[in-house]
Amino acid sequence: MEQRRLKPLITGAKGQLGTSFQKLFKSLEINFIPTDINELDITNCDAVLKFIEDKDINIIINCAAYNNVDGAEEDKENCYALNSLAPYYLAKAAKSIDAIFVTYSTDFVFDGKKQEPYKEDDTPNPLSVYGASKLDGEHRVLTTYDKVFIIRTSWLFGKGNNFNSQVINWAKKNTVLRIVDDQIGGPTFSDDLALFSWLLIKTNAFGLYHFSNEGIASKFEQAQYVLQKIGWQGTLQRAKTGEFAIKAKRPAFSKLDSSKLARAVGKEIPTWQDGIDRWFGEWWSSGVV
């Protein structure tokens, strides 16, 4: 597929990943169609099928998701509508026009009992409604269409509300912060996820992949790195997940092994620290986060 003929549709275009895709496509001078809830309700199958008519779309990239992990425990219907049914409808739509379909899943499909990075063929066992909804979406997509990329990712940060920006905002209001050190995984810069997804799309090596930035971190270590970047003079203390009132269970260890994707695109994945450095320059310092 020649670059000049590529015409992606982005759903969830105003979110962290969608924003990164828009920036990437503009830099590559690729014509794309950005949509969010106001332009397209992806939980309505008929609306999706009607929207794609006569637009010459040949790639559908689904960046939309229900990401409120705790809220999902009491909002199961809406969570499943966005994380399971919507990807299924989009996969059906992609199949109807012979377009490539890309959608995203999560490290939360795993239970966190493994002590080394999770590979694509490891057995999922989600602990939360959010994780279960994402896994159900995976199954629906993979059994609907073959020209599909499903990319599991973790701890995303980009433009908008994310753990990095939360830590900075907490630091502005407090001299002491308590951050958990028993949730361990892989922070992921949305710009890197968009770029590596795009490189993967062009391989036509369809299937299930993992992507997070290189390296392993606890939430405490990620917060520590962010706070050092802003020169915070407060006290950062270690805490445990059980000390906080949260509704959804989190996997204790959820680092994803991204080696399959790295091999597929032939490119080394940057570290999470490097990703945070560039996040500061791209999003935080410009005041758009």
Residues β-bridged to residue 157: 189
Q: Would you please indicate which residues are annotated as catalytic (active-site) residues?
A: 130
Q: What would the mean pLDDT of 82-97 be, rounded to a whole number?
A: 97
Q: 61 pairs with which residues across the strands?
A: 10, 102
Q: What is the pLDDT, as a whole number, of residue 3?
A: 44
CA angle 82, 87, 88 (to 5 degrees): 115
- pLDDT digit string (tens) for 104-114? 999 999 999 99
Domain boundary assignment for the chain: 3-163+186-215+255-271
What span, in angstroms and rounded, lies between the C-alpha atoms of 201 and 114?
Answer: 29
Pairing status of strand 156-157 against strand 184-185: unpaired
Topology (CATH level 3) of domain 3-163+186-215+255-271: Rossmann fold (3.40.50)
Task: State the Cα–Cα distance between residues 217 and 172, nearest whole angstrom.
Answer: 23
Q: How far apart are CA 239 and CA 11, in angstroms?
A: 37
Is 49's pLDDT higher than 60? yes
Q: Where are the strands (E) in 39-91, listed by range?
A: 59-62
Residue whose entry in the numeric block shows the structure tokens 């992507």 = 211
Q: 3-state DSSP call for residue 111?
A: coil
Whole-angstrom distance, CA of residue 86 vs CA of residue 105? 13
Task: Note the pLDDT tens digit of each residue in 170-212.
Answer: 999 999 999 999 999 999 999 999 999 999 999 999 999 999 9
Q: What local confidence, expressed as pLDDT, does residue 287 receive?
A: 57
End-to-end CA distance of the chain: 35
- Report d(CA 172, CA 186) in Å as an integer: 25
